């Protein structure tokens, strides 16, 4: 049965291409009526093609457009408010010159646009300077992050990040390079052994071409911030990290 419907659709398209619009119209309407009974989404497409056949004949297609609009309204209500279905219905009314109905449904569509909630990943700030950690925390809060953890040395950072990884979390690490004891490059190496795709942003007063910085970038850090830094530089580094995660 599916193959027969596809053959009928192909034939209708051929008729339409050859300006045999009455034959095309009849086939599209036949397909539409069948899908309307099943409430299949293809019904809307067939109805719109049938209305186009009417237009090519120089005839009024308001009846077909109204039927299509009512179909999409039914789908919208069945889906408890589908923005896409309301938009389709609005376009049909617009094509048939029913401006008021189109505007009303367009406004209704806006009410049902799903809200995208952007989830911010946990941030682990690793720096032995209280002034730097305070500034980073303030900047991060301004950028919408609220799950911010602080580690003031390398060993504490490894323990904290390991726990987050074991809890199936995917944190972003803001890692100072120059710390007493375990330095940033050593911390990065140990953390990346635990989770090779871990997001690490280096924060250092050193130049980017410093051998130790370049080596740490090479083993897997995703971004670099040079001290002193601005909130925009921090945002850019975080954005770069998120883009790398998506890829």
Query: Considering the entire predicted model, what is its pTM?
Result: 0.52
Rounded Cα distance between 148 and 122, Å, is: 6
How far apart CA 172 and CA 143 sit, in angstroms, is 14
What's the mean pLDDT when you consider all of the chain? Answer: 85
CATH architecture for the domain at 2-111? Alpha Horseshoe (1.25)
- pLDDT for 227 equals 83
Is 179 or 125 the better-scoring residue by pLDDT?
Answer: 125
Neighbouring CB atoms inside 10 A of 165's CB total 15
pLDDT at position 195 over 80: yes
Domain boundaries, the chain: 2-111, 123-246
Structure confidence by residue, pLDDT tens digits, 35-70: 888 776 788 889 999 999 999 999 999 999 999 998
Give the SS3 label for residue 79: coil
- Average pLDDT, stretch 181-193? 87
Peptide bond into 169 cis (omega under 30): no
Average pLDDT of span 150-179: 91
Q: pLDDT tens across 12-27, in order? A: 999 999 999 999 999 9
**Which CATH superfamily hosts domain 123-246?**
Response regulator (3.40.50.2300)
């Amino acid at each position: 049965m599916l193959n027969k419907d596809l053959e009928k659709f192909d034939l209708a398209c051929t008729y339409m291409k050859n300006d045999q619009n009455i034959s095309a119209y009849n086939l599209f309407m036949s397909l539409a009526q069948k899908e309307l009974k099943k409430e299949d989404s293809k019904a809307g497409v067939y109805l719109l093609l049938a209305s186009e056949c009417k237009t090519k004949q120089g005839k009024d297609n308001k009846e077909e457009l109204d039927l299509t609009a009512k179909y999409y309204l039914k789908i919208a209500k069945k889906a408890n408010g589908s923005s896409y279905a309301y938009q389709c219905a609005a376009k049909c009314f617009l094509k048939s010159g029913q401006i008021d109905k189109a505007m009303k449904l367009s406004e209704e569509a806006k009410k049902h646009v799903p809200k995208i909630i952007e989830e911010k990943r946990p941030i682990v700030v690793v720096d032995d300077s209280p002034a730097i950690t305070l500034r980073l925390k303030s900047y991060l809060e301004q950028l919408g992050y609220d799950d911010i953890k602080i580690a003031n040395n390398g060993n504490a950072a490894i323990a904290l990040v390991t726990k987050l990884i074991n809890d199936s979390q995917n944190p972003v690490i803001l890692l100072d390079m120059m710390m007493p004891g375990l330095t940033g490059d050593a911390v990065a190496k140990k953390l990346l052994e635990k989770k090779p795709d871990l997001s690490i942003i280096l924060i250092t007063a050193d130049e980017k071409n410093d051998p130790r910085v370049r080596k740490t970038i090479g083993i897997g850090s995703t971004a670099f911030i040079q001290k002193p830094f601005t909130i925009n530089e921090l945002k850019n580094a975080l954005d770069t990290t998120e883009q790398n995660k998506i890829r």
